[in-house]
Structure 1
Amino acid sequence: MCLLGIDLGGTSIKAGLVDINGKILKKGQVPTGAGEGTTAVLKRIKNLARDLAGEQGLALGELEGVGIGIPGSVDVARGLVHLAPNLFWRDFSLRDELAALLDLPVAIENDAHVAALGEMWQGAGRGYTSILMVTIGTGIGSGLIIDGRVHHGLFGYGAEMGHIKMVCDGRQCHCGGHGCLETLASATAMVKSFREYLAAGYPSMLSDRPELGAKEILAAAAGGDELAGRVIDEAACYLGTALANAVLLVGPEAIIIGGGPAQAGEVILDPIRKHLAAAMGTWQLKPVPVLQAALGNDAGIIGAAYLAMKTSSQY
């Protein structure tokens, strides 16, 4: 069995051929070109799929199925992309359009959910059936898997940890709300907080750095910079508190942290664990594992292939 997993982003289309054991056999990527319209994007997907199959000595029609992760709101049952701002899509029948173009069964899902499926199948979540994955980046994405199935909830978007309200009248979020978790603990928020402290006169080894990102702040924290450590600990406090709320509500077996800052490892993971435990208090009967994501940029491809495999097995 050979499956096609697609991670569709606003900038690039990443795809890979994946076998039944979760091994990527071939992978590649091409620019998305979302501004050229849906037809052009789907054509690029088909060409990439055909090229990858050809490299593996297969015809496109010999693939068992296709899974695709979408950066937006998805109606899985109807195969619709309700809204994908980075792709300029609204109420687009992606599943049916792509299935007709490829002549293959297609399953679609939100990209954060797909990444969580990938980590559960072949990554840090192996051995667990209920996990919460949180991705720290420009914003904060999340995917919740309960008993091996994506939790979609009433509105279809499932767990949106990034928009849990943490502070009344806090920083304004692009969603229109205030005090959302991602305004306080995303990579963007870490940089914003750090610059605010610098402007207030706090010293740091990074004070003269014109280019400043979360990566540099995490590295400085690891090197003993007091201000960098403070900013990371504050972000971890908000994350740990939000995760404690999630654990109390749904009780995942493990929490997986992904995204760029997670690559710093224990510098960010240890304070998250500390604040999670503090927020849980006496309700923490045993520690909930907080694990670093293992699949990196391949999580979307592997998770999409898993989605395709599970969908095709239902027929």
Structure 2
Amino acid sequence: MSDKIYVGVDVGGTAIKVGICNADGDLLHTFEGPTETSKGTDTILQNIAKYAQQIVEESSYEWEQVDGVGVGIAGFLDIPNGIIKFAPNLKIENVNLKAYLEQVLGKRVLVNNDANVAALGEAWAGAGKGIPNCVCYTLGTGVGGGIIIHGKIYEGYAGMAGELGHIAIVPDLEAIQCGCGKMGCLETVSSATGIIRMAKDAVERGDRTSLSLVPNIMAKDVLDAAKAGDEVASRIVNRAAFYLGKSMATLSVVLNPECYIIGGGVAKAGEFLFAQIREVFEKYTQDQAKENVKILPATLGNNAGVVGAAGLLLRS
């Protein structure tokens, strides 16, 4: 067996997901193990290395076929040197993950931000397969993102490129403070958290809405109520879609990507949400910048991170 394989690792606060991919981005084998964050940094690092080895042992492949290991992790990183400056969810600070793994595994290792690798996964082997220039949004607790140019992650000067959730897009009179400390970020209106906040505010104001009957409002409740014709819920979803579409209109005259890919829990609302985003994008985007540009749902789901992490070895 001589075909090369690429191991991707997606490090989360609860679980570490690992996958084996071939050079075409096909996911050949997967494995998942506990992060064990409570046991400290050494245990987390050991688990990353252990699971990377274990997935190959459990597969039909040999360790000699592994061309490298890619890792996606949330936090503030020195990407070129593979150093975790600070990962709040993991309580890791100033650790050279790349150096540690290369020593333990004896393979080349690349490390990048989790949102970047998820974007790369979708661009390499998901909704954006075959499209060299695309921008990916992840609509979850926050709004994550990644920019892919000529098939590779664009990181920017200090690794901050692709922080789409922190585009300051909401006008001052409507803006609230984001978790990042700034005002009017996209994340405050287009994330699951933002949608829930707007719904709770409406209920507290006494707006007439079916959401007042929901004891613990989730983003899905708001989206479902909007689909059912609830006017208040519809306004909230329309607002989330409006600022997403406007952010894409802005990016189109800066980056001019061929497509936008949207994933995450909020994106599960499907065409109901996507149609509203496309309408805003069409309205606000300069003609040449929107010509033949697609807005697509992500297709890899929870596997985007491991596929993209493996892709770092071929697309960096």
Scaled by the length of structure 2, what TM-score is found? 0.93
Query: For 1:243-264, what per-residue CA distance to the aligned partner results, in whole angstroms no more than 9, with x for missing partners?
Result: 1111111111100001001112
Residue 288 of structure 1: CA displacement?
A: 2.2
After TM superposition, the structure 1 stretch with the greater mean CA deviation from structure 2, 265-274 or 54-63, is 54-63
**Counterpart AA for 1:15:** V
Counterparts of 2:281 and 2:116 in 1: how far apart (Å)?
23
Q: Does 1:153 pair with 2:165?
A: no
Match of 1:220 in 2: 225
Match of 1:168 in 2: 172
Which of residues 213, 216, 219 in structure 2 aligns to 1:211?
216
What is the percentage of aligned positions where both structures have the same residue? Answer: 39
Counterparts of 1:285 and 1:21 in 2: how far apart (Å)?
29
Match of 1:110 in 2: 113
Match of 1:2 in 2: 5
Match of 2:278 in 1: 273
Scaled by the length of structure 1, what TM-score is found? 0.93
Which of residues 87, 99, 103 in structure 1 aligns to 2:90?
87
Which of residues 245, 262, 270 in structure 2 aligns to 1:257?
262
RMSD: 1.7
**Counterpart AA for 1:168:** D
**Counterpart AA for 2:255:** V
Query: For 1:255-287, what per-residue CA distance to the aligned partner results, in whole angstroms no more than 9, with x for missing partners?
Result: 000100111211211111111122225565525
- How do residues 285-300 of structure 1 correspond to structure 2 at under 5 angstroms? 286-300=291-305
- Whether contact under 8 Å (2:252, 2:289) holds in the other structure is no
Match of 1:99 in 2: 102
- How do residues 122-161 of structure 1 correspond to structure 2 at under 5 angstroms? 122-161=125-164
Runs of 4+ aligned structure 1 residues displaced above 3 Å come to 57-62, 281-285
Alpha carbons of structure 1 residues 124 and 278: separation in structure 2 relative to 1, 3 Å: same
Query: For 1:194-239, what per-residue CA distance to the aligned partner results, in whole angstroms no more than 9, with x for missing partners?
Result: 1111222222223211121111211222222222111100111111
**Counterpart AA for 1:231:** I
Counterparts of 1:282 and 1:54 in 2: how far apart (Å)?
53
**Counterpart AA for 2:74:** P
Which of residues 175, 182, 200 in structure 2 aligns to 1:177?
182
Q: Does 1:195 pair with 2:200?
A: yes
Counterparts of 2:150 and 2:309 in 1: how far apart (Å)?
18
SS of residue matched to 1:144 = strand
- Whether contact under 8 Å (1:132, 1:144) holds in the other structure is yes
Gaps of 5+ in 1: none
**Counterpart AA for 2:309:** A
After TM superposition, the structure 1 stretch with the greater mean CA deviation from structure 2, 178-187 or 52-61, is 52-61
Gaps of 5+ in 2: none
Counterparts of 1:83 and 1:51 in 2: how far apart (Å)?
27
Residue 91 of structure 1: CA displacement?
A: 2.6
Q: Does 1:68 pair with 2:71?
A: yes
- Whether contact under 8 Å (1:80, 1:93) holds in the other structure is yes
Counterparts of 1:162 and 1:117 in 2: how far apart (Å)?
17
Alpha carbons of structure 1 residues 133 and 74: separation in structure 2 relative to 1, 3 Å: same
- Whether contact under 8 Å (2:151, 2:315) holds in the other structure is no
